[in-house]
Each structure stands twice: as structure tokens, then as C-alpha cells.
Amino acid sequence: MTNIDTTLRSFIDVAPDSHFPIQNLPYGVFKTSSSSTPGIGVAISDQVLDLGVLAERGLLAGGELGDGEIFREPTLNAFMALGRPAWTAARSILTTLLRNDEPVLRDDAGLRDAAFHRQSDVEMLLPAAIGDYTDFYSSREHATNIGIMLRGKDNALQPNWLHIPVGYHGRASSVVISGTDVPRPKGQTKPPDADRPIFGPSRLMDFELEMGFFVGPGNRLGESIPIAAAPDHIFGMVLVNDWSARDIQAWEYVPLGPFLSKNFATSISPWVVTMDALEPFRCAGPAQNDPEVFPYLRSPDDRAYDIHLEVLLQSREMDAPDRIATSNLRYMYWNVSQQLAHHTVNGCNARPGDLYGSGTISGPEKHERGSMMELSWRGTESVQLSNGEERKFLADGDTVIMSGCCEKNGVKIGFGEVRGTLLPAG
């Protein structure tokens, strides 16, 4: 674990509440109004630094980065595939170029004009071509809450839950970037008082507060990624809202698990915060000694992350959103290294740009529940909004906004936000 460098300053002014100081430098893919070709950028303050422009000038070349042309790709996949030495090298070059005492970029007005765009003036795209998406179920508090609702307190956790990071394969094609509207899905449901299922729009729409990580270098089919090596295969993290249709899920999930209830949309934030930026915020996770986990899942060091998370909800009638939940990634029972090690222990091959979701992140307190299913306790309680409205599940027109950040010694490392509006069924 490293300390955060509080002495670093950028020549770009950074507001105290910004998620994107020079200590962060997350990667994303964007498009300007004057170009139909996507480009790779880094967020600094309220600006996007176009890495394609820097590469064209030869400022991102050398060593593991070669000629720097990898930054002129339309996605981050090729850069992700290079691995940690290349990621560290790029971060070092970008940090130097953006420092307040470095003249190369600071004093070249023409280069600055070409390389910087306001974030408000660009369209953010998915950061990678996502080949596969896996969603885990790794919060003990969340799994316990759902288990109590469905099976009672004595059988809340299934027998396997404390032994393996439970997960399922999601649908990569329906992963969407923040700001994409989500139509209410249709499917089969079975009301409690009905003899047969019915077909129609979901009536119990929910959000799930999650985080996700992107795979960097993968592994060959038949090989596994040892947990000690897992950090070298994890490029960075994003916020995830894994939308859920609870009534469709209740009918379909036996015996194979979620299908239509989950694969209609998963929203992610546009900026990928690197593990190097998150390194100062590593911390101990929950104890895993009762039962003790198998050796292949034992982390050699602290692999949880202290990332504060918030969920806000804004209805059609509201002028501003209400905060309805907070949580923290450090509550996760199974950490990201364990998730990757378990996913590949059977020889499954992960590939650059694959996305792994954490599963809903809930904490021990009521306000830390990461879904409407928990906040309303399966619809038996109401979530009160400031304008007098109340919710048990999401209504058409509701906008869900999730944000996340870490803070240490006055330096804030943030993820921005992931937002989406629920539209009526088509």
C-alpha cells in the first residue's frame, strides 16, 4: 500500500470537490461533435485530455508503450492488454505532463487547444469492447437480507455462500454507458395469488448499487490466475447499476438463476479509475476464518478498498435528487482478487476488456442497503422522498444516480457518476 502524494499539483485548476485531480487520471473513451472517431482520454478536473493528440506528438512513446499508437485506438482494450508495467509507465508520463512545474504541455498553447476538451462538450462511450460480463453476489449483508426475505433468518445464507464467490454470467451486449435511458422490461411473472404466470411489463423494478472491474491481460484456456497475481490482471474500476426486475427474477431464477430479469440493461460509469490510483485506499476486508477459505482464495495482503458510495433518486416531479442510500466497497466479503482467482481457477480464460460486477454492495445499517428490494424490505415499507412521494420499487420516469469516491489527506479520488432513467415499457 502506498501513501497518496498530496504535493502533486496540476497546471489545470481543480476544484476542491472535483473527482478528478492529478492523483486520479482515470481513462475513458469519448467522441467530439467535430469527429465521428472515438478517442481515448484522461479526465483531469472538468477537462478531457486527448491521448491521441499526445501520441501524435510523440509524447506517449517509449518502453512498454512502444510508439504510443495504442492511444489512437477506439477502445482501451489494447492498452488494457499491455499489463501493469505499461499502465504504470503511462501514468508516470501523464502525471509529469500535467504537473504545474512542467512546461511541455503547460506552455504550448497550440498543443493545449488541440489536446483538451471540456467534459461537458464531449460524448462519453463505453471504455472497452466488452467481450464477457460476469456478475457476482459478494456482499454478505446483501445476501443475508435477501435470504431472510426469501427463506427466513435461519436459512438466510445458502450453504455454499461462505465458501465460494457466487456469480453468474451476464449479458455483455446490454452493458450501457451512463446517461442511457432504460425501458422497463417485459417478461413472465407469477403473482402470489395466481395459478399461472402472466406476461407483461415488470412491476417491481429495482437498481443494484455495484462496482465493476475491467480485466487487463487475460489467461490461456486451461490455466488459472493465482490470487497473488490477480492485481496484475485488473486494470481499473467503474460504478455499476445492475438494473433488476424482481418479479421476473422470482419466477425464472429456479433452478438456473437470473436471465431476463437482469440481462436487459447494466449501466456503468464512463471513467475507469486505475488500481494504481486506488492503491492508497486499500484496506482490510471482512474476516474470512469461519469457515476458513480455501488456499486459492486466501489474499496475501489487504485487497478491500475504502470507496464511499451513494445512491440518489429523482422522480419526474422533483427539481433535485434525494440521497436514499450510502454504502462502501470495503463491506464486500469477497474482494476483486478473489473474484478473478475463483472465476479462472477452473481454467476459464479471461480476456482484456471483460467486465466483472461486484454484486449489490450493502452495509450493516438500514441506510446502507444497496437496492430498493432491501430498502423497502420486499415492498413492505416505503422509501420517503423529500417532495412527499414514496417508493417501494422504481416508477417510470425515475432517474437513479450513483456516485463513488475515496478521500485521504484532503485528496479526493472519484468515479464521477452512473445515471439512468427508467422509461415505460415499449
- Kindly report, residue by residue over 367-389, the tens digit of the pLDDT: 999 999 999 999 999 999 999 99
Dihedrals phi, psi of 49, to nearest 5 degrees: -95, 120
- Domains of the chain, with CATH numbers? 27-125 (2.30.30.230), 133-423 (3.90.850.10)
How far is the CA of 411 from the CAs of 23, 139, 140, in angstroms? 8, 27, 30
Low-confidence residues in the chain, pLDDT < 50: none
Cα–Cα distance measured from residue 238 to residue 390, given in angstroms and rounded to the nearest whole number? 29
Nearest of 388, 374, 409, 417 to residue 140 by alpha carbon: 374
pLDDT at 12: 98
Instruction: Answer yes or no: 142 catalytic.
Output: yes
Whole-number Å distance between alpha carbons of 46 and 109: 18
pLDDT at 1: 67
Spatial separation of the C-alpha atoms in residues 69 and 58, rounded to whole Å: 9
Question: Rounded to an integer, what distance in angstroms lies between the CA atom of residue 307 and that of residue 281?
Answer: 8
pLDDT the model gives residue 316:
97
Half-sphere exposure of 222 (CA within 13 A, CB side): 0
N residues, the chain? 426
Query: Can you tell me which residue has the cell 467481450?
Result: 131
Q: How far apart are CA 268 and CA 240, in angstroms?
A: 5
Query: Residue 2: its pLDDT value, please?
Result: 81
Q: Is the previous residue joined to 286 through a cis bond, with omega within 30 degrees of 0? A: no
User: How many whole angstroms separate alpha carbon 39 and alpha carbon 73?
Assistant: 7
User: For residues 299 and 301, what is the distance between their CA atoms, to the nearest angstrom?
Assistant: 5
C-alpha cell at 400: 437513479
Give the whole-angstrom CA distance, residue 224 versus residue 334: 18
This prediction has a pTM of 0.97
Q: How many helices (H) and strands (E) are present in the chain, helices listed first?
A: 10, 26
What whole-number distance in Å separates Cα of residue 96 and Cα of residue 98?
5
115, amino acid identity: A
The residue annotated as part of the active site, out of 19, 117, 142, 342, is: 142
